[in-house]
Structure 1
Amino acid sequence: MAIDDLLDEHEQGQRVQDWLRRNGLSIVGGVVLGIAAIWGWNNWQASRLQSSAADNARYQAVVAQLASSDLEEAARQVKALETESSGIYVDLAALALVKAQVEAGKVEEAIAVLRGLKAEGEFQALVNQRIARLQIEAGKPAEALATLGNAQDPTSLEIIADAHVAAGDGEKARDFYTKALLALKADAPQRGLLEIKLSDVGGEVPATEDATAQ
């Protein structure tokens, strides 16, 4: 090996040592942070699992109370779950309670539970639709209309029309059934029922795009 090669290797070694002296602390710090992050993640995961297990236990308690038809105790269990958690089990327990309350004829209580859900986006729209249907069932179509507001999706438009029917306003019902049908695809499964509802209030079923094309 030539002397120049040895000097190059020595110089390279010195440069590596100098770089390590300058950056060694940051390298060690990065390793420590990485280990800490992994440790924190594992502990967070363990905490989530424990929390999920506890929520599941409370949900099962609600189901057990509903099976025994003890709606008051089930409602207390749901309230306790709501104060201690915000996961999927809260919504599942609340919806199970609502179903049991409706079946027991406790519509107002069911509406109150639905209003207490921390819903947003599409889930909030579904909750509002369910509340509106229950309000119509309870003989409060005006409240159903207020609940749905200016919603424009086909299901909400249908429920708004149902509310107008319940209020004795067939003309507005026809308008909203027609809007609901126009907002649906030609092969939508709910078209048949909507067409019957529209016909029942004296409306004419609008032609679909497929029928127009033919």
Structure 2
Amino acid sequence: MAIDDLLDEHEQSERVRSWLRNNGAGLIGGVALGLAVILGWQWWQKDQARKNEQAHQDYQAALEGAAGNDLKQAQAVVAKLSAEDEIYADLAGLQLAKAQVQAGERDAAIATLRALTPDASLRPIVNLRLARLLNDAGKHDEALKLLAQADDASSLEARGDALLAAGKAKEAQEAYTKALTTLDVASPQRRLVELKLAGAGGTPPKTGDNA
């Protein structure tokens, strides 16, 4: 090997050593940071999986409590779920409210539904069930506020119920009529809404004229 080649190799080695001296700490820090990110991500995934599993178990416990009429247990679990998983808390809360109604605890069911913070997909269901209970409790104005933007048949029917109970027969007729426009002719709900419309002093549209 020529002396010039040896000098070149020596020079290259010195350059590598110099680069490592200047950048070694940063290189090690970068590797350590990369490892920390990977380990942190793995820990987060495992922690989320653990939390999801715990929330699912608590949800099942809430359902069992509601089904077995252990409403205090179900209430405690729903409260716990509120801090763990919102969707599970909302679903369990709906089941708890149903069990409370069946047990004759209407006011407790109202409180349960009011405490929920449902997302957009569940909010119409929660509002409808709450509005029906508020109607039953004579709180018609509160029910109307909940249903102000609703346009599905069941919500329009509940809105008509609240308006009629509040002495606003004309507006109730409009709500029932609008509900009928969204119902299929063969729908079992249609006959009930027609009866309510007639009871409010309105005339149910003839089949085929409600579009």
The answer for the alignment partner of 1:137 in structure 2 is: 136
1:55 maps to a residue whose letter is A
The answer for the alignment partner of 2:115 in structure 1 is: 116
Classify 1:32/1:196 alpha carbon distance in 2 versus 1 (closer, same or farther; 3 Å). farther
Distance, in Å, in 2 between the alignment partners of 1:199 and 1:92 is: 36
The answer for the alignment partner of 2:177 in structure 1 is: 178
Distance, in Å, in 2 between the alignment partners of 1:195 and 1:30 is: 72
Question: Please, what is the CA RMSD of the aligned residues?
Answer: 3.4
The answer for the alignment partner of 1:65 in structure 2 is: 65
Residue identity over aligned pairs, in percent, reads: 43
Distance, in Å, in 2 between the alignment partners of 1:123 and 1:32 is: 44
Distance, in Å, in 1 between the alignment partners of 2:90 and 2:121 is: 14
Count of residue pairs the alignment pairs up: 189
The answer for the alignment partner of 1:99 in structure 2 is: 98
| Deviation of the 1:118 alpha carbon | 1.5
Classify 1:68/1:125 alpha carbon distance in 2 versus 1 (closer, same or farther; 3 Å). closer
Per-residue CA deviation, residues 157-211 of structure 1 (Å, 9 max, x unaligned), is 22110112223432221121112223x1545734333223222323222356xx3
Distance, in Å, in 1 between the alignment partners of 2:35 and 2:185 is: 56
| Deviation of the 1:85 alpha carbon | 0.9
Per-residue CA deviation, residues 7-32 of structure 1 (Å, 9 max, x unaligned), is xxxxxxxxxxxxxx9xxx9xxx9999
The aligned runs of 1:75-86 (5 Å cut-off) are 75-82=75-82, 84-86=83-85
Per-residue CA deviation, residues 118-172 of structure 1 (Å, 9 max, x unaligned), is 1132421221111100111223223211322343443322211011222343222
Classify 1:108/1:152 alpha carbon distance in 2 versus 1 (closer, same or farther; 3 Å). same
Classify 1:204/1:67 alpha carbon distance in 2 versus 1 (closer, same or farther; 3 Å). closer
Classify 1:61/1:151 alpha carbon distance in 2 versus 1 (closer, same or farther; 3 Å). closer
Classify 1:40/1:207 alpha carbon distance in 2 versus 1 (closer, same or farther; 3 Å). farther
| Deviation of the 1:38 alpha carbon | 5.7
The answer for the alignment partner of 2:146 in structure 1 is: 147
Per-residue CA deviation, residues 63-100 of structure 1 (Å, 9 max, x unaligned), is 33334422223212211221x31243212221121111
SS at match of 1:121: coil
The answer for the alignment partner of 2:197 in structure 1 is: 198
Distance, in Å, in 2 between the alignment partners of 1:187 and 1:34 is: 64
Q: Where does the alignment leave 5 or more consecutive residues of structure 2 unmatched?
A: 1-18
Q: Where does the alignment leave 5 or more consecutive residues of structure 1 unmatched?
A: 1-20
The two structures have a TM-score, normalised by structure 1, of 0.70
The answer for the alignment partner of 2:15 in structure 1 is: none
2:46 maps to a residue whose letter is A
The two structures have a TM-score, normalised by structure 2, of 0.71
Classify 1:191/1:35 alpha carbon distance in 2 versus 1 (closer, same or farther; 3 Å). farther
Q: Does the 8 Å contact 2:153/2:183 carry over to 1? A: no
